[in-house]
Amino acid sequence: MFVTYTVKNYQFKETSAGRGIVSYLIVDKHSNKRKISALARVNKRGKIQSVRPINKRELPLLQVLVKSSINEKIEVDFSEYNSANPRDEDTQHEYTDNSKAIPVREVRNEFETKDHTIYSIDDIAENKFRLLQMVALGVLILVAILFVQDGFFGE
């Protein structure tokens, strides 16, 4: 079973020296967003050395994600893994890849962002109520300034 994804972003949060959690933000061909997280180890240069999936069935996906870059389309074959690892098996797997370590950097996580900061045109649609509140507040402030200049509140 082949599945195609586009890597939109990734984030690494260090939990202890040389260890942390890496999260990949991916989108499938139907525009469904998905977040994949894994426990990660970084080397002394700050690059991801190995990952262990939180959900063990995501191992084939993580093996490809570790080697990918942002906005890259990836294709993952789950068939070999699924046949070798039935769903009731409860083992943990770890994948180590020393051939191409990716640099670790902090990025904005689209799925966990709680602030209402507008970064792109797409964020306007998601934050339209807050944007309308800001416009209304701006209009009220402008009206108040005009009243004060005309002496409406004065003698």
Which tokens sit at 143? 């009206």
Nearest residue to 35 (alpha-carbon basis) of 60, 63, 14, 65: 65
Q: CA 151, 153, 155: angle at the middle one, nearest 5? A: 70
Q: Are 84 and 91 in contact (CB under 8 A)?
A: no
pLDDT band of residue 97 (cuts 50, 70, 90) is low
pLDDT band of residue 138 (cuts 50, 70, 90) is very high
